[in-house]
Amino acid sequence: MEQHLAASAEHADYLVELSNVVRQVNIGPRGPRSLRRLGLVLRALMETTGDPDVSVYLVADVSLLGGHREFADPTEVRRLRRWVADGLVEEVPDADERILELARMTGTRVVTGDTYVDHRLEHPWIQGNAWQFLRPEPRVGGSVALVPMDMGVRSAAEISRRMELSALKKQGLLGPSRTPLTDVIMRSWRCPEPRCSLYDSRRGGRILLPRMRGGVPTCELHGAPLVDDGPRRGTTQLKVVIDGACAARYTLDEGAQVQVGRLPGPEGIALHHLLSPEVAAQVSRTHVTVSARNGSVVVQDVSSYGTRMRPAGRRGGFGPWEQLPPRTGRPLRPGDEAELAPGVVLTRSGRRFPAELADAWRSEAPRGRVPTRASEPTRQADLPFRMNGGTGGGAGTHGGAGAAGRRHRDGEGPDTP
């Protein structure tokens, strides 16, 4: 196989995420890890390209050799170590990030079975890519075919969820079938070192996830076993998205109810400092009420000129916009969007275990004098607002031919000072 291994990505015909291929148990011999699977991929590349001298650049996680006992053949381990020493395998802590960096820079096709959902914020070019990634698939007779993968488009909530799973994996907090170890995650922990606040839910605005070592939650900094500090209450996280970009996150505790708007009061989530004066004027001082109970989130419109909402759909899409009935609770599921004004969206994160502590945003809220305009009456949106059944347009896009304007509700005047 050595004659097909390039010493640099610039001189390779293909990039191969070696860790992924070696661990792909549905091709090649039985067992959790086998270097013979790379041989099958190389034969498939020669067959696909018609080039007997096709070359590949290999990238592997350090954990591939770290789990050398999972190789059935010890000679494969020695061979792999020799490749690393000779510069024929680039060994890095995170092969995913490195392979994507090389793919972006060189435009070279990648052999992998990974869809890289958790890397799509840093690498948005993956979204919708249908040509650059090849997945090895078994064929009759034991050979392998390389099939182009349609990477599809994933929603922000799904990306957040996969990023969280990746973080849990790095901390050793995933069990069989990538199931989070909730008996550890849903507990509060404390380092026995008195000055360590990495896990202290009583200090600061964020806490670290414990690292599992030998089945024991351990301090990342001091290496000491952590002390169980009681249950961690269930939390949910809201995101404010402005013109398509996440501007702020707000973590709520189980059982919490909070008002969201331009200036809802000291106990609410104020948005005026995130918005331009023109847009802020179109958001009611108290626009929606959000409740988090029993793992569910409910949003209720209490604004002057209304709120519209659309559900998260498949493959990163959305359902149609619908006008929220006033003062009627509507479930807000991960990825759903509630639009308060043009370009101002309230959504729910896909994270189940946010690092930000519940209500930490209260202490981090801007201090000082509130601008006079934040207390002024709400102004009706200048752009037309698509009502029930409206389709098209991205987040925060109002309007369209024939759309109805945002109407002031009968019997309800503008916000009073």
Tell me the residue ranges of DSSP E strands in 133-234. Answer: 133-138, 144-148, 187-190, 211-213, 216-218, 227-231
pLDDT of residue 209: 87
pTM listed for this prediction? 0.69
Decide which of 244 and 148 is more confident: 148
Mean pLDDT lowest among 80-94, 97-111, 147-161, 368-382: 368-382
Decide which of 316 and 417 is more confident: 316
pLDDT of residue 204: 64
How many Cα atoms occupy the beta-carbon half-sphere of 33 within 13 Å? 20
User: Per residue in 155-212, pLDDT tens?
Assistant: 888 898 899 899 999 899 998 778 899 899 988 899 999 889 888 777 766 778 899 9
User: Per residue in 46-78, pLDDT tens?
Assistant: 999 999 999 999 999 999 998 888 999 999 999
pLDDT of residue 396: 40
User: Per residue in 291-306, pLDDT tens?
Assistant: 998 888 999 999 988 9
**What percent of the chain is modeled with pLDDT above 90?**
58
Which burial class, exposed, middle or buried, applies to 322 when counting CB atoms under 10 A from its CB (0-12, 13-18, 19+)?
middle
User: Alpha carbon 8 to chain centroid distance?
Assistant: 31
In this model, does residue 413 exceed pLDDT 70?
Answer: no
pLDDT of residue 370: 66
In angstroms, what CA-CA distances link 164 with 160, 170, 174, 179, 248? 6, 10, 11, 12, 18
The mean of the pLDDT values for the chain is: 85
Instruction: Calculate mean pLDDT across residues 382-409.
Output: 39
Domains annotated for the chain, with CATH where assigned, are: 2-148 (3.40.50.11980), 156-231 (no CATH), 235-375 (2.60.200.20)
pLDDT of residue 389: 40
pLDDT of residue 184: 93
pLDDT of residue 366: 63
In this model, does residue 416 exceed pLDDT 60?
Answer: no
Which residue is listed with tokens 């990238």?
59
Given pLDDT bands bounded at 50, 70 and 90, which one contains residue 399? Answer: very low
Given pLDDT bands bounded at 50, 70 and 90, which one contains residue 132? Answer: very high
Kind plus residue range of the DSSP H or E element containing 109: strand 109-111
What are all long-range contacts of 53-56, with beta carbons under 8 Å and residues at least 24 apart?
53/3, 53/4, 54/4, 54/13, 54/14, 55/4, 55/5, 55/6, 55/11, 55/12, 55/13, 55/14, 56/4, 56/5, 56/6, 56/12, 56/13, 56/14, 56/15, 56/16, 56/111
In this model, does residue 268 exceed pLDDT 50?
Answer: yes
Hey, what are 186's tokens?
């849903």
pLDDT of residue 377: 67
pLDDT of residue 4: 96
Cβ atoms of 55 and 4 closer than 8 Å: yes
User: Per residue in 322-377, pLDDT tens?
Assistant: 999 999 999 999 889 999 998 999 999 888 888 777 766 666 666 666 666 666 66
